[in-house]
Amino acid sequence: MAEVVLMELILPDEEAPVIKPPPPPPNEEAPINPKKEVEEEEALRGVDDEGYREAFRRRLMLGLLIGVITGLMGTAYRLLFESALLVWRYPGVPPAMLTTAFGFAVGLSLRAMGQPTANLPGLVHHFHANKGYLSCSVFRTFRIAIVSTLSIAGAGSLGPEAPLVSMGGGAASYAWQRLGHPDDTTVATLCGMAAGLGAFFGDPVGGAFFALEVVHRHGLEFWEAIVPAIFASIASHLVYRASAPSLCWHFPAAETTSVYVCFLGVATGLAGGAIGSLWIRALRVLKRFELPTVSKATLGGLLIGALGSTAPSTLFWGEHEINALLGGDLPRVDLPSPDSPRALIYAGFVKLVLILVTVLAGYRGGFIFPFMFSGIAIGAGVARLLGLTVVAHVALSLAAAINTAATRTVFATPFVLVTLSNRPDTLLTCLVASVVSLVLTADVAVITDARARWD
């Protein structure tokens, strides 16, 4: 009997039923397959990387194209305003007479053609208001070129850099939208702005950082535009400098100093921030007084000539006049130019007043080099008056602090100053001064529309 039962257990007539695991409850997730999840993630990453690489290559080509176009536009613009400056080569004409005549011409052009946005505050306002797009048309470019050329020829304390930024940014916005890439319009505009500054500054990296920083209050935020903007700035610089000599200020050779000389930047940062803050507050107060366009520009021209005659190196925007200030070149205007420490300090403060007059008169241009001139003049004068041997450190760091107070470009300003002066040993001092000035002037601004990115 036991044998029969054993045979039944060993040789069953039917297969045993398969027991299936119960299905998971409705709210319980199915088990995760780690291998499948990794494969899907790698596939997605590959797609994203390919799309990113394609966008990056497109932006580099964008930077090259915009850089070449802006370099050519900048060259044509430079030939225009340099031709207008030839009027100053005729001896015997009183400076005040010429500046008044050009002031009258600026007023007439503004009344006839309207107010172009060829100043940095206006450019930054339109950049943010239009989400990175700067309008461009033949008439707008012509108007900017004419009004700013008259302003430059009238010896005003505003330079060609802002008109170049406007032309480059506007052309880049228009071209890239026409090519069918509206999503990259902001990057294109920043590339055009960087190309304009890189060409004029003679410092592609400093020009690119300046364009990226000036549209914000506390440092650059459009990180995706850094490499294309530098690429555009280099291309524009090469095209522009093919027919224009590179600029270098004649500072004395580097002194043997301690690394702790950078702490001078704290003092010059405080001084430059205070000077910049006072200048901004004075501008706000004086803007309340309104005059008709032509009368305002004519009066501004008269004041520019009268004040500038007392310190000839303060006439014009200051890029080349810095060398005259340092004793390397002759000023454009053949008038006595004392070289004493007190004369340098006087010239620096006169320059600050002339920047105010030029802006309030309605002239068009950029105040970057004028502020640098005033800082270098005051800093060099104070250093010589106190018998300091680190003249370049004091002068350049004070210039960095004043310009940072006005433009909020905490990295770009030191880069440009160090490159143009050929004094890389002053970089740390200039950076310290810029940071101190940025913190000190956090509640005031010339470019009031500088703000965080909108996306």
CATH number at 318 reads: 1.10.3080.10
Least confident residue range of 120-134, 260-274, 297-311, 326-340: 326-340
pLDDT value, residue 6:
43
pLDDT value, residue 41:
56
pLDDT, mean of residues 261-288: 94
Average pLDDT of the chain, as a whole number: 85
pLDDT value, residue 8:
44
- Say yes or no: 193 and 271 in one domain: no
- pLDDT higher than threshold 80 for residue 25: no
CA distance 211 to 169: 10
Could you tell me the CA-to-CA distances from 363 to 51, 101, 116, 154, 214 in Å, in that order? 46, 13, 10, 9, 20
CA distance 81 to 90: 17
For residue 40, is it within any domain?
no
Nearest to 98, CA basis, from 361, 369, 353, 308? 308
Least confident residue range of 98-102, 387-391, 393-397: 387-391
CB–CB of 370/318 below 8 Å?
Answer: yes
- Say yes or no: 264 and 339 in one domain: yes
- Say yes or no: 224 and 98 in one domain: yes
Domain encompassing residue 77:
55-240
For residue 48, is it within any domain?
no
- Say yes or no: 370 and 263 in one domain: yes
For residue 451, is it within any domain?
no
For residue 20, is it within any domain?
no
- Say yes or no: 66 and 135 in one domain: yes
For residue 137, is it within any domain?
yes
- Taking only Cα atoms into account, the Rg of the chain, rounded to an integer number of angstroms, comes to 31
Confidence of residue 11 (pLDDT cuts 50, 70, 90): very low
Show the CA angle centred on residue 73, arms to residues 184 and 240, nearest 5°.
100
**Boundary residue ending a domain (181, 209, 240):** 240
- Say yes or no: 372 and 421 in one domain: yes
pLDDT, mean of residues 340-365: 94
Least confident residue range of 265-274, 320-329, 405-414: 320-329
For residue 281, is it within any domain?
yes
- pLDDT higher than threshold 70 for residue 330: no
CB–CB of 76/236 below 8 Å?
Answer: no
DSSP 316-368: S-STTHHHHHTTSS--SS-S----SHHHHHHHHHHHHHHHHHHHHTT--SB-H
CB–CB of 178/110 below 8 Å?
Answer: no
Q: What is the tens place of the pLDDT at every residue in 37-76? A: 555 555 544 445 667 788 788 888 888 999 999 999 999 9
For residue 379, is it within any domain?
yes
CB–CB of 163/365 below 8 Å?
Answer: yes
Least confident residue range of 140-144, 181-185, 420-424: 181-185
pLDDT value, residue 323:
84
pLDDT, mean of residues 233-261: 83
Nearest to 101, CA basis, from 156, 154, 157, 155? 154
For residue 29, is it within any domain?
no
Q: Domain count of the chain?
A: 2
- Residue found by looking up tokens 């090519």 in the block: 179
- Say yes or no: 320 and 272 in one domain: yes
- Say yes or no: 116 and 225 in one domain: yes
Angle in degrees, 0-180, between the axes of helices 138-153 and 161-178, rounded to the nearest 10: 170
CA distance 45 to 40: 9
Neighbours of 261 (CB within 10 A): 18
